[in-house]
Amino acid sequence: MKEVYTVADLREWGSATADLAKPARLAVLGHPVIHSLSPQMHAAALDREGIPTTYVRIDVAPEEFSEALALMAQNGFIGANVTIPHKKAALEAVTNATEHARRMQAVNTIVFEADDTMSGFSTDGPGLVRAIREEFSLDLKDLRVLLLGAGGGAGRSIAVQCAIERCERLVLANRTLAKAQALAHELADDFRSDRLVGPGERLAAVALDSPALEKEVAAVDLIINATALGMKRTDPSPLPTRALSACHIVYDTVYANGSTRLVDEARAVGARAANGLSMLVHQGVLSYEIWFGHEPDVAIMRAGIASSPMRA
């Protein structure tokens, strides 16, 4: 099996995948996609259930995206995951997107339906909800949340999910303040109530480098990092350490290096902290549920990632 297939391979799918014992009928599409851990995670669940399907990576440039989907439909694919930079294009390409995916402005899970249509779903936000429950035994809806990186795709999914869950309080922080302000404007109706007891707005936007951020940190329970900071081992934390206290819960969506400076610094002050591996697992679990109609073995999927040589 190739580490990564291409659209040229999709055009000759029979010969390109002739060496596979089980036909490739599930894939993750991205550009680049070589680092995706989804194949290992889904292979573990497919093998456990004896489903005769291989899950592969396909590198698809933006201009090839529509052709790739058409070829996958022709080649009898069950479904696909979609990652950077295709989530918005996938929303536009599918025949039916859920209302939830439309609100997210993103599709990360596609089903190729029997009548040649495509359905689109977004599992990133619901995956985060399950991850927070698993890591901390808490529900997002009960928490005051500070979201760092509210200007990116992951940040948008998390912010909209917080709004859908009606979380207690949401502070949107971003390097480019205007993006956080625009998102706050969009979500304003979801936070129009006086449910919050105590001082402070239920919904606020703040710049990542503003002195006001530290004041906001003192009035939240859960801090989520959805910035790109932490992807490189040398990256600084997105928050000054002095802002953190033992009362905080910290969830870093970054999982590439096992731990991040934010997670290490949070643990050092006695806060509970976790990296984004559980969000990755649960968005995958939800995709699998959409394709096969039942929940896979979550522990098996997690073990599939842990045993991956790319993770080491």
Cα(271)–Cα(190) distance, integer angstroms: 29
- 8 A C-beta contact, residue 170 and residue 191: yes
Site map 234..273 versus ligand NAP, x via CB under 6 A = ----x--------------xxx------------------
* Residues forming the active site: 87
Q: Which is nearer to ligand NAP, 66 or 176 (CB)?
A: 176
Which residues 6+ apart lie within 8 Å of 48 measured at CB?
296, 297, 300
Q: Which of 101, 108, 128 is nearest to 29 (CA)?
A: 108
Give the single-character DSSP code of 236. Answer: P
Cα 282 to its chain centre, rounded Å, is 9
Q: Decide: is 173 part of the binding site for ligand NAP (CB under 6 A).
A: no
Q: Examine residue 208 and tell whether it contacts ligand NAP (CB under 6 A).
A: yes
**Strand 54-59 to strand 24-30: parallel, antiparallel, or no bridges (unpaired)?**
parallel
* Under 8 Å between Cβ of 107 and 120: yes
Site string for ligand NAP, 68-87 (x = CB under 6 A): ----------------x---
Minimal distance, residue 152 CB to ligand NAP, in Å? 2
Tell me the site size for ligand NAP, rule CB under 6 A. Answer: 26
90 forms part of the interface with ligand NAP (CB under 6 A) = no
Which stretch, 4-12, 20-28, 163-171, 221-229, contacts ligand NAP (CB under 6 A)? 221-229
User: For ligand NAP, which residue of 279, 286, 301, 305 counts as binding (CB under 6 A)?
Assistant: 279
Could you tell me if 306 and 281 are in contact, meaning their C-beta atoms sit under 8 angstroms apart?
Answer: no
The DSSP output letter for 188 is: G
Rule CB under 6 A: is residue 228 a binding residue for ligand NAP? yes
Q: Are 148 and 164 in contact (CB under 8 A)?
A: no
Contact assessment for residue 92 and residue 63, using Cβ atoms and an 8 Å cutoff: no
231: contact with ligand NAP by CB under 6 A: yes
Map the footprint of ligand NAP across residues 95-154, applying CB under 6 A. 124, 149, 151-154
**Which residues contact ligand NAP (rule: CB under 6 A)?**
84, 124, 149, 151-155, 174-176, 179, 208, 226-229, 231, 238, 253-255, 276, 279-280, 283
